[in-house]
Every structure is written in C-alpha cells, then in structure tokens.
Chain A
C-alpha cells in the first residue's frame, strides 16, 4: 500500500483503539465509586463497594466463577496438549485437524444449546439408554445441566476452548521444530509422550501464553454460554452482574460497576496465579526432564487426556447434530431415540422471524468484518513501514493494544461504553452495534492476517512497480491478490466472531435489534426446543458456510477467473469476425 504519513495513521488508529477502552474503563470505574451523573450521583464514595461486599450472592457467584474459570482452561489445555502429543503427524489426526475450524467457527451459544439438548434429563443421552437400560419412561429428576457446580458450563467451555488451543498449538509446531525433535528423541529411545512432556511442551508454553490468557479471561467472564448452560441462583459472577446492571432499580448499577471492577481484578489475579503456578511447576519438573528416563508414569496423564479430549470432541459433534434434528421434529416423545414424526413446519412457522434475525445478523457481521479487514490491512501496512525504519520484529504499539478489548471483561466495560452511546444519542442504533462488533472482530482479523501479511515477499510488489508504476493498482492486483487465502481466512474468522457476539449486540442495540445469537440465548430457557433448534442451527450454519467458502474459493479463484475471461474473449472475437 503506497501509504503516506505512516506516523499519523499509527497515531490515529492507536487513539481509535484506546478511546473506547478508556471510555469503557472510566465509565465502569467512576460509577464503582458512586460518581454517576445520569443518576444524579456526584459524590465519590465507597458505598457501592460496601453494598457489594454485603451481598451474599457476590461470594457465591465469585466462587462459581473461580471454579469454572480456572477448571475449564486447565482441562482444555490438558486435553489439547494430550491430543497434540498423541496425534501430531499421524495421518488420521489430520482429519481431526480439518474438523477443528468448523468447531472454532460455531458460535458458542449454538454449542451450548446443542449440549443442552444432549445432556439435559430429557436429552438425547438419557433417551439413548432409556428405557432398556435405565428403565425410565419419563425424564429423571436429575440436575445434569445448569448444575449448581457449573460442571456443564465447564464442559461447554472446554469444548469451545480445546479446539482453539489445539489450533494455536498446531500453528507453532514448525517454529519449535517439533518433527525434528521427535525424530531425534525417538532415536534416543524416548517414548512419544515422554518426549512431549520433557522436550516439546516446555518450549511450546511460552509461545502460546497469550492465547492461554485469552482463554482464561474468556472463561472467567463469559456471559452467553453461562446464561444457557451455566448454573443459576447463584449464577457465575458475570451473569449476576448482568442481572444487576439490568435491574429496574438503577442504583444497582453502582454496585454492579464495583462488581465489574472486581471481576477485572480477579482476571489479573488469576493470570498472575497461573503464571506463578507455571513457574513453580516448571522448576519442579526441570530435574525430571534430564533424568534420562525414557518412559514415565505421568505419560498416563497425557493418555487419559487423549481419551477425555476425544470424548469432549464427540460430545460437540453429537450436540451439533441435534440442532437440525430438533428443528425438523414434529413429535419426539421421551424415551424415543429419534423423532417419530418429522416436519418442515417448525422452520416454516419461524421463517418470518428467522429471516428478520438472519438479515440483522448478516448485515452486522458483513459490515463489521469488511471494515475490520480494511483497517487490519492499513494497520499492518503501517507496521511494516515503521518496522522497516526501526528494527524488525520489534513489537509495534498495535500488537499489544489490539489485545486489550479481548482481555477485558465485556460485562461492565460495555455498560460503561453504553453511557457514552447515550450521550452521543447512538444508543439502539445499528451503527453503534456494528462499532461494538468491530471492536471485538478487529483483534481476531488483525492477528490472523498478521503472520501471512508480514511474511509476504515484498519483492513481487517491488518488481510490479518497476514494470508499471501504478502503486495503488499494483497493491490490489499483486499483493492483495496474492494474499487472498489469508484474507479470506481472516474474513471467515472475523465473521464467526461477529455472529457469536451476544452482549455487544444486546447493549448497543438495547433490544431494538435482535440477532440469531441474542434470540437463541434469550429463548434457550423457554423450552421450545423446535424453535431454539432452528435458530441455533442457522447460527452455526453461516459461519461454517463462510469458513468452508474461505477454504474452497482461493485455490480455485485464478482457474475460474481465467476460464471466465477466455469465455468472454472468445465471444468477443466471434462477434467481431
């Protein structure tokens, strides 16, 4: 991109990135200390904190948040490492790898709803074993989902996070020379799992630290998943805060803001604890790494992780398969394993609503993602420019700024931004929803594009500019065209991130614009499985479709383009003759 004024652009974009974060933070921090002009509160005080600490629900929610928010990433990391150690470079594992991106693309609410259909007392799992094994002819009186300990929430989080971590780890395999290390180690007589434990995982961890942090922050603060499948009364802290923020008694907002600030502090504390735990763990295991033993008992930990990880993956697929089944069901009495009567009626009946929701969802996702792609390209180009001047590989201001929105808890932060939207008279506006989506889509698009964009062999573009000096055109027809696969993938990821957004849509839209996600989450508890199934299915369908297109189109693009071009030129010549 023949950019001028790279410094100005860097400054402007940095400001645009910082501005909403700063507003959101201040908009949470001030009410937490009882300064909230919209309610006529002008006196700074600790009252919201006293109120917060006096709430029994705060402690119960906090406990649940800590249990689910720490257990889920730990399990996800354990399973992902085990699966990788077990399957890396084996042919059948490549099939599992190919299945990762669809799971990644599916909004978590859809997975949670599928899990609800699978695991609830009247769900498919119990049906499968009833009545021949269990003897049930009506749903048992168990609490299997939304259990008070958050086990089902942990499972849903693991299903969402394990593929992500696996995906991130696979991308680092080349940089730590995994294949070569395994060959050398196996020649020395080490077993595969021991090699992973002693050689590869210690190298892998520092590279994937940030993605792990993102996963931890997500687990501690997730709202939509917890609403669908998490415990209620008490619920996790993020959900409790959401209820307080939405309380008709507006003064609850002050206490909720204090809660949101404490949630941020909890993230920091958990991440710090996580690092300390990792440090002491690696210190303890350092001696063991070089003790020369080729096998170890702890290898079995990885073996167990493989089994559990595969079970979690299986769970995810069955859960997803249940979405279309429910949306096509007319009659499905309890112990039957499959519906006895099928119908399109549910979908037909819901069509006007679904069309409306789909239209909103796609409009927001397409605009936000396209904007994110363009902004990411500009950011990466300015980064390339400035790193050319100073040293290479030096982290640019964008590289850490971009993570801030993902690491901050949406709850609280977004309510702080909402106050700004009200001042700007943008509350409930489609533009506001798109802007908030952009804030969450942009980091993922930027991070996906970054590697391929900076690795691009600039010589092609330089040669193009020597051959004909039209820099803007050459940037598009040479550089962008050659980066097509990366841009398509980044678009697909951004698109799926936008589709999955729940709180940003809800808060900026003030309920005036519903998307497939907000409606599916709102109705998940309604028990109308046929309608909820249709919504969740559509919610999962679009991202998978876009992901598939992003893989399918780029390798065929040039061939198709040339075929079309030849068709036209042949027609032209035959006309002129």
Chain B
C-alpha cells in the first residue's frame, strides 16, 4: 500500500497543490488528472525522489507504513514509466530486459525471465532485435515489462500512453493493468486523458487550478 499524507507543492510563492492525501492498495491503479502545469509530474518526482531544486514540497509518503520521502532515490525501489519508452537503443531487447533484472539472480534464471517476458509479449523471435525494429506499441510494452522485471515496490506512470496511436492505446492499457495486478504493487498514473483513467478501473483524482 502506497499512501501520501498532506502533500503540498509550491513554486516560488505560488501554491500548486495543497494538502493532497490518498492511498493506493496493492494491485490497484490510482489516476490523477488535471491540466498541464498543475504539478502532476512534480508529484511523481516527489515520490521517485528526483524533484528539481526550485520546487518546495511538504508532506509525507509511506510504503506499507515505511517512510519513503526520507529515503534516497536508489533506496526506494521505484519503477517509473514515461511517455518515451527509453529503451536503450544500443542494446538488444533481451539485453534491455536483462539490464533490469537484479544481479543477484542466477544467470540462467535471468535468461529464462527475459525469455518469459518476450513470450508474454508474443515476440520471442525479437530477442536479438534492436528497439528501433519494434513498433511503438511493442516498445511501450517492453518498457513496462523491463520496469517490472526490476522488481519495484511501487510503480509511477507518467502519461505512458500519450505517444501511442489511439488504436493501440486500448491494448496497451489493458496489458499494463493486467501486469500491475499480477505484480501486485500499487501504481499511480498521471494523465490528461479521461479514457486512460477509466481503463485503469480504479479511483480517479482530479486536480484543479488553485485560486
């Protein structure tokens, strides 16, 4: 369970978000909507620990009652998925997946895990392909599986569907939701698109402009 307590965000003397609190259960996706510039992405950065210096925040975040906001990024075990799939262009698909699998797992097991992921994607023949040889939808799915293979404790999704073809979006959304449920971790989705929020079958928070 991921919980955020009384989160406030301000840029200079302008308050963007005030006293936001929510909880996300394991395997659930909470969607956050709102116009751009409202601080949605900054909330994600707060949770992933990569907030830029000119923003001031207050509030707390807990993962299963353990404080998150006091930890350094590398100790948080956070998965982040963005608009760009950010697959490493100079590594094959298998290498991209293996990159994320924790190093303490035995080598043969790591290879099997990557192979399973490829089969789940229906592209076992693309193991040695480079990311650019995959379609946009395939890249998005590989990026999600790569993030999940790093065994994150919670997942942050920053408009991961916005760069996809409308026709593809539905499939990818369903795939994402299914994988999150299987991984059984809390996930937070930030989006512009009400369809995204609806497809995640979870709660939806709408952030408005502060007067």
Contacts and interface: CB of A to CB of B under 8 A. Distances in A.
Interface stretch (A104-112, A194-202, A369-377, A477-485): A477-485
A459 B50 CA distance: 11
Given A389-B53, A562-B128, A566-B128, A466 B78 contact: yes
Contact of B150 (A389, A460, A462, A468): A468
Q: Which of A463, A481, A562 has the most CB of B within 10 A?
A: A463
Chain B contact patch, size range:
20 to 34
Contacts of B78: 466
B48 interface: yes
Contacts of B57: none
A482 B82 CA distance: 19
A466 B80 contact: yes
Interface in A424-476: 459-460, 462-470
A558 interface: yes
A468 B100 contact: yes
Contact of B100 (A389, A467, A484, A562): A467
Tell me the interface secondary structure of chain B in the complex: loop
B90 A466 contact: no
A295 interface: no
Contact of A464 (B73, B99, B103): B99
A452 B24 CA distance: 41
A467 B130 contact: no
A466 B76 CA distance: 9
A558 B130 contact: yes
Nearest to B99: A467
Interface in B77-92: 78-80, 82, 84, 86, 88-92
Interface in A121-169: none
A306 to B, nearest CB: 39
A484 B91 CA distance: 13
B202 to A, nearest CB: 23
B150 A466 contact: yes
Contacts of B103: 468, 470
B102 interface: yes
A332 interface: no
7 contacts: A459-B82, A459-B84, A465-B73, A466-B79, A469-B74, A481-B88, A562-B128
Interface of B: 48, 50, 53, 73-74, 78-80, 82, 84, 86, 88-92, 99-100, 102-103, 128, 130, 146-147, 150
Interface of A: 389, 459-460, 462-470, 478, 481-482, 484, 557-558, 562, 566
Enumerate the 5 nearest inter-chain pairs by beta-carbon distance, A residue then B residue, closest first. A469-B74, A467-B100, A467-B150, A463-B86, A558-B90
